[in-house]
Amino acid sequence: MAVEIERKFLVTGDSWRSLATGTLYRQGYIATEAGATVRIRLVGDRGYLTIKSKLGQISRTEYEYPIPASDAREMLDNLCERPLIEKTRYKIPLAELIWEIDEFAGENEGLILAEVELPAENYSLDLPAWIAREVSDDPRYFNANLVKYPFKKWSEF
């Protein structure tokens, strides 16, 4: 079984920007029910189908398969919930981990999140200076929920 152990944080400041160049991501969700998601993603000119389900506090099963980019575009255009997730992802290697900074666009513009995949749930993590509050347990920040409740519509911001 493929397992993803991931923590998620809000990002502060711009010091991270000089550490990586970004890649455009477009993704959409075909299904987001019963604790499982089926996602289509286009990363540059590469397509992916991903199926995830909750396993633990910060762990999920994750199965990801490459698909033709033309199929991904067609599914994003015709099968996925709206709005699509549009973001630029920056990958920053620090120590033995890869931090992924997502700068959202479209209906989620203004939101910048950092995610880091861990080798174990109890892994001791040193946080970079550009990390703010942890939001791993806040479902509002899950990409599948940003489709249903986009960041631009949150009243608290």
Active-site amino acid positions: 29
Q: Are 132 and 111 in contact (CB under 8 A)?
A: no
Identify the CA nearest to 28 among candidates 41, 9, 45. Answer: 41
Query: What is the C-alpha to C-alpha distance for residues 54 and 37, in angstroms, rounded to an integer?
Result: 9
Q: What stretch of H or E contains 3?
A: strand 3-11
